[in-house]
Amino acid sequence: MLYWFFYIPLTAFVIIALVTTPTSILNQSVQPFRLDAGITEERLYEKVSDYSPILGTQYGTLTDQFDKNAALLLSDKRYAYKISAGQKAYVANKEFYEDAVPLAPIRYNRYTITKMFTSNGKQIPVTIDQVYPKSYEKIQ
């Protein structure tokens, strides 16, 4: 009696667990959003920082060519960013950005950071707002 009610269901449970657990683990992929957001943030801050041929990149000093330098080459990963400095703003992948920002807490991950830069002797906040999907999708 113990055999039918205990050992057979226990064996079935162990076999099912051994089959489904590795399958579910292997189907999950790593989603490095925080890493990608950090790399994009640093690349953008370097692009909008003033550059001197002698001193190199001068972090904290805003370039005069903000509109031209704010553009990054986008990869085939589906994400968007908006970088704004004072009255100037640049949005990469604008269509996706406008769709994703209202749904950010639910369907998308949103990362925002602000740093103070100097431009013409004034302190200007430079804000980078990035939006990523919960899992990576390729742009069709």
CA proximity to 134, closest of 111, 99, 96, 107: 107
Give me the pLDDT at residue 133, please. 87
Give me the pLDDT at residue 139, please. 54
> pTM value?
0.68
pLDDT digits (tens, 9 = 90+) for 41-69: 888 888 888 777 677 667 777 777 776 77
Give me the pLDDT at residue 111, please. 92
Give 100's contacts (C-beta < 8 A, 6+ positions apart): 80, 107, 108, 110, 131, 133
Residues 82, 132, 30, CA angle at the centre, nearest 5°? 145
Rounded-to-integer distance, Cα 21 and Cα 19, Å? 6
pLDDT digits (tens, 9 = 90+) for 8-54: 888 989 898 888 877 767 666 667 778 888 888 888 888 888 777 67
pLDDT digits (tens, 9 = 90+) for 75-122: 777 888 999 988 888 888 889 899 999 988 888 999 999 999 888 888
